[in-house]
Amino acid sequence: MTKTVAIVTGDFHAPEAERMIAAASATAKARGLAVGPVVRVPGSMEVPLALKRLLSRNDIDAAVALGVIERGETKHGLVMAQSVVGAIIGLQLEFMKPVGVGIIGPEVFPSQIAPRVEPYAEAAMVAVARMLE
């Protein structure tokens, strides 16, 4: 039976998010996984709630979280990234379903984003595929 993977992305960096969705979707298909709902949320902070809603569904076997947390003038991004990833780990354990994390950052400079978009999205989906084996 084909496993279904949902995708959640923070849309604050919309062009990059769309490229990440395309890369993750292609990787899923290459691995024999079905791509379920694709949910776009305002930013990375909203990703855990969207993931919780999806992971609670019986028709979703796993999920991938995508987005960018850019370096700012303060440590806000670092604190947010730690909170978001901590919440994602908690959701994996709560629902016993894998979540691949393809969130670029924290502390990433704008010039570092573009070359990481596809590799991060692909790696997140590969991690999920391996956990579903």
Catalytic annotation, residues: 76
Phi-psi sector, 8: left (phi>0), alpha (psi -120 to 50), beta: beta
Angle at 94 between CA 126 and CA 35, to 5 degrees: 35
Q: Is 26 helix (H, G, I), strand (E, B) or coil?
A: helix
**Nearest 10 degrees: Cα torsion 12, 13, 19, 25:** -20
Q: Is 57 helix (H, G, I), strand (E, B) or coil?
A: coil
Q: Kindly report whether the peptide bond that precedes residue 106 is cis, defined as omega within 30 degrees of 0.
A: yes
What is the enclosing helix (H) or strand (E) of 43?
none
